[in-house]
C-alpha cells in the first residue's frame, strides 16, 4: 500500500501521537516506529515531523517529557498527561462523528468494496 503523503497528515498528527502515547511513554524514534507499525505502513512521514508536534503538545500541557536512561544512554521520553487523555478522548469523538458522516454518504465499507462483505 502506498504511504500517505506528509501533506495529508497535516492537522492530524497530534491526535495520532496522543493515541500512540496512550499505550505508554516513548521517545521520538519509538513513536515514529509505533506509528508506522500500527498504521500498517500507511503513516510513513518524515521522521523529524514528530518533534515540533511533541514540543507543541508539551507546551499545551497534553504531554510531559523527561530525560531517562534507555539502553545506557540518556533519552527524552514523552508521556501522556491527564489533559492529554481528555484531549484524546475528545478528538476520538470528533473523528468518530466525522467517520459516521462520511460513511453515511459513501455507504458501508463492504458495499463500497473496501473490505470483503
Partner 1 sequence: MNGAIERYLADLDRRLAVPARYRRRVLAEAGDHLADSAAALESGGRSGDEADAEAVRRFDPGRRLAGDINAGWASAQARRAPAWAFVAGVGVLAAAVAAIPAVPSDAAAGGAPVVAAAALMASVGLQLAVVAGAVALLRVAGRRSAPVLGSADRSLVWRAARIGVGATAVAALGLLGVAAEQAHRSGSGPGRVVAAGLGMLAVLAAAGGRLRRPLPTGDAGGLDVGDPDVEVGEPGGIEDSGPAVRLSRRSPGAGERLARAGESLVTIVRSWPGAATALVAGLSAWGAYAHAEASRPGSLLTAAVETAAVVVFARVFGPALELLPGAAPPDGSS
Q: Tell me if 20 contacts partner 1 by CB under 8 A.
A: no
Q: Which of 22, 37, 66, 90 binds partner 1 (CB under 8 A)?
A: 90
DSSP E strands in the chain: the ranges are 63-70, 73-80
Q: Which of 47, 64, 79, 85 binds partner 1 (CB under 8 A)?
A: 47
Closest C-alpha among 9, 8, 35, 11 to residue 21: 35
C-alpha–C-alpha distance, residues 52 and 63, integer Å:
13
Question: Does residue 66 contact residue 27 with C-beta atoms inside 8 Å?
Answer: no
SS3 label, residue 25: coil
Q: Tell me if 11 contacts partner 1 by CB under 8 A.
A: yes
Q: Tell me if 76 contacts partner 1 by CB under 8 A.
A: yes
Query: Which residues make up the interface to partner 1 (CB under 8 A)?
Result: 5-15, 27-29, 46-49, 51-53, 55-56, 59, 73, 75-76, 87, 90-91, 94-95, 98, 102
Amino acid at each position: 500500500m502506498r504511504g500517505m503523503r506528509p501533506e495529508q497528515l497535516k492537522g492530524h498528527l497530534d491526535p495520532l501521537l496522543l493515541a500512540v502515547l496512550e499505550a505508554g511513554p516513548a521517545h521520538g524514534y519509538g513513536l515514529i516506529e509505533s506509528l508506522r507499525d500500527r498504521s500498517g505502513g500507511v503513516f510513513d512521514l518524515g521522521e523529524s515531523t514528530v518533534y515540533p508536534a511533541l514540543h507543541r503538545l508539551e507546551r499545551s500541557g497534553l504531554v510531559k517529557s523527561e530525560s531517562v536512561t534507555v539502553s545506557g544512554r540518556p533519552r527524552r521520553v514523552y508521556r501522556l498527561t491527564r489533559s492529554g487523555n481528555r484531549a484524546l478522548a475528545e478528538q476520538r469523538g470528533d473523528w468518530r462523528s466525522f467517520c459516521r458522516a462520511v460513511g453515511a454518504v459513501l455507504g458501508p465499507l463492504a458495499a463500497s468494496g473496501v473490505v470483503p462483505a
